Structure 1
């Protein structure tokens, strides 16, 4: 060996390295496999329900329309645009139920209707035994 230079023994050999990119790929593959396997083991239980089926063959007739009860700000009531007293609601509902197999009521109010008369009308509909009751959220003018 020469004095000024030294011979390197490691010139032909490379240092060992751990490549991290293939290791990440393997870890993600194992994670995805584990997730899919655990999801396939879980049983999803649901409650069976009967959904309604739409049909286009039915034409609406006059009997299918709901009775519209509108309450005004003075506490007066309209039965399908006809002005009535609150005391007339009960007999009219009884007559309506006897004439229709599927009675429906739509309760509406004008823009300044009070809460008390509206609740009174709801109570009369409940007393009459009508199950299908809707409350209109759109504000309309009195008597319309």
Structure 2
């Protein structure tokens, strides 16, 4: 017998062929599975949040208006780089509020500060009715 029969070459070895039709079927099956899976997912429920809108200041804020209150070791704090006792904080806040029209306090802590002392300082600023900011960057003691 001579010639080729059923995909065999004249030497008797079978040639490899890649059938593309089954590959297309597999790709369409994967695509359909993905689409059906994503459609079956529930929508993520969220809570509406009304974010505050920033308003420009009535007058420019200067460095003289801002006090940096740094909490340090237990019983000590720094008022604009001046070492003070923690017991002086309420009196200084009231004096500061009486002399500055728009008082602002930046509360920070150093590596020796305790969490409770920082919370007490924040409470004192809140009681005085002063706008407070919290510094999250590291600041060396007394800076």
Task: Tell me the TM-score normalized by structure 2.
Answer: 0.56
Is the 1:75–1:114 contact (alpha carbons within 8 Å) kept by the matching residues of 2? no
- In the other structure, the counterpart of 1:117 is 117
Separation in 2 of the partners of 1:112 and 1:88?
A: 19
Distance 1:73 1:86, change over 3 A: closer
Distance 1:119 1:102, change over 3 A: same
- In the other structure, the counterpart of 2:20 is none
Is the 2:74–2:117 contact (alpha carbons within 8 Å) kept by the matching residues of 1? no
**1:53 offset after TM fit, Å?**
5.3
Q: RMSD of the TM alignment (CA)?
A: 2.7
**1:90 offset after TM fit, Å?**
0.8
Give every structure 1 segment of 4 or more consecutive aligned residues whose post-TM-superposition deviation is greater than 6 Å. none
- In the other structure, the counterpart of 2:71 is 71
**1:126 offset after TM fit, Å?**
1.1
- In the other structure, the counterpart of 2:98 is 98
How many residue pairs were aligned?
93
**1:112 offset after TM fit, Å?**
3.4
Separation in 2 of the partners of 1:110 and 1:53?
A: 31
**1:51 offset after TM fit, Å?**
5.8
Separation in 2 of the partners of 1:51 and 1:60?
A: 15
Separation in 1 of the partners of 2:54 and 2:110?
A: 35
Is the 2:69–2:106 contact (alpha carbons within 8 Å) kept by the matching residues of 1? yes
Q: Is residue 128 from structure 1 mapped to residue 131 from structure 2 by the alignment?
A: no
Please state whether the residue corresponding to 2:69 is helix, strand or coil. Answer: strand
**1:50 offset after TM fit, Å?**
7.3
Q: Which protein has the larger Cα radius of gyration, Structure 1 or Structure 2?
A: 1
Separation in 2 of the partners of 1:123 and 1:53?
A: 26
Distance 1:60 1:105, change over 3 A: closer
Distance 1:141 1:127, change over 3 A: same
